[in-house]
Amino acid sequence: MTARAYRAVKVAAELAVPLAILAAWQLWTVASDSAKFPRPTTIAVEFRRLWLFSEFGTHVAPSLERIGLGFAIAVLVGVALGVPLGLSGVARRAAMPHIEYWRAIPPPALLPISIVLLHSIGNLQKVSFIAFFCIFPVLLNTIDGVRGIEPVLLETARSYGVPPLARIRRIVLPAALPQIVAGMRNSLALAVIMMVLSEYFSSTNGVGYVLLISKNTFQLVPMWAAILLIGLLGYVLNLLFLLVERRVLAWHRGWRASVA
């Protein structure tokens, strides 16, 4: 096979297989005609009816707000804790048992506790829950990023009398940024999951609430449309993040390329 024919086969396969899967799904649902597995075309129509954009404001907007707030808090707290923990070995050893415990616990175990503790099933509880678990990827990556900094850099800055805060702002944060951003990307994906969990447990609006209600009322088509929406939400948020990352870290990639 020549290189060109090989490439053509690859592109063809990349297009044909997803289409074939969609077609098979459609044919299978038409043949089985089961209420539990509606046709993809039916789901698509329902998706358009609900989410573009009649119910967007009532259910998607609150969910996005919770993701946004929880994620923002997690990033701020994660970096603010991660920098000192990365710089100080004693602090790190003191914090590690706590970090290891809280990131190993299955998050839903804290859902009922968050309600009891905060007396809330509204934004206070949802955002706190999302933020709490999204801290860990940012925190651990910040610690690692800060620890990976060339010590000579920091010692040189210190011996030139650069004050500590300026050292953090001008050396530590930029050097750790690529890894912090990698942690942020994991956190964002986690935020979507935590949003669904917290809204599915008890809520009055949001995408998870739609899932819960359509389950309780046996409405399969809106449920499938909501699942599709959540999948797309995660996909689009990740895509947006990659676009921002490319801009923010352009200097880093340029530097990497010049070194390599």
Partner 1 sequence: MRLRRPGDDSARSGRGRVSGRARGVALRAVDAAVPVVSVLAAAGIWEAVSRAGLIDERDLPAMSTTVGELWSLVQTSAFWTAFGYTVRGWAIGLGLAAALAVPIGIGLGSSPIAAAAFRVPIEFLRPIPSAALIPLLFLTLGTNLKSEVFLATFGAFWPLLVQTMYGVRDVDPVAVDTARSFGVGRAERLYRITLPGAVPYIATGVRISSTVSLILAFTAELFMGTPGLGQAVNVAQAYGLTDQLYALALATGFLGVAIHAATTAVERRLLRWHPSQRGEVRT
Which C-beta is closer to partner 1: that of 151 or that of 161? 151
Q: Using CB atoms within 10 A of its CB, is residue 73 exposed (0-12), middle (13-18) or buried (19+)?
A: middle
From 60, 85, 140, 221, residue interacting with partner 1 (rule: CB under 8 A): 140
Distance CA(46)–CA(164), nearest Å, equals 57
Q: The tokens 């070194």 sit on which residue?
A: 259
H or E element at residue 118: helix 111-118
Which C-beta is closer to partner 1: that of 90 or that of 165? 90
Which C-beta is closer to partner 1: that of 159 or that of 258? 159
Residues contacting residue 249 through CB under 8 Å, at least 6 positions apart: 177, 178, 181
110 binds partner 1 (CB under 8 A): yes
CB of 48 to partner 1, least distance (A): 18
| Joined tokens for residue 95 | 């914090």
Measured in whole angstroms, how far is the alpha carbon of residue 231 from the centre of its chain? 12
DSSP class per residue in 29-75? HHHH--SSS--HHHHHHHHHHHHTTTTIIIIIHHHHHHHHHHHHHHH
CB of 163 to partner 1, least distance (A): 25
From 69, 121, 197, 249, residue interacting with partner 1 (rule: CB under 8 A): 197
117 binds partner 1 (CB under 8 A): yes
CB of 204 to partner 1, least distance (A): 17
Q: Could you list the residues that contact partner 1 (CB under 8 A)?
A: 6, 9-11, 13-14, 16-18, 21, 36-37, 90, 93-98, 100-102, 104-113, 115-117, 119, 140, 144, 189, 192-193, 196-197, 200-201, 211-212, 214-215, 218, 220, 223-224, 226-227, 230-231, 234-235, 238
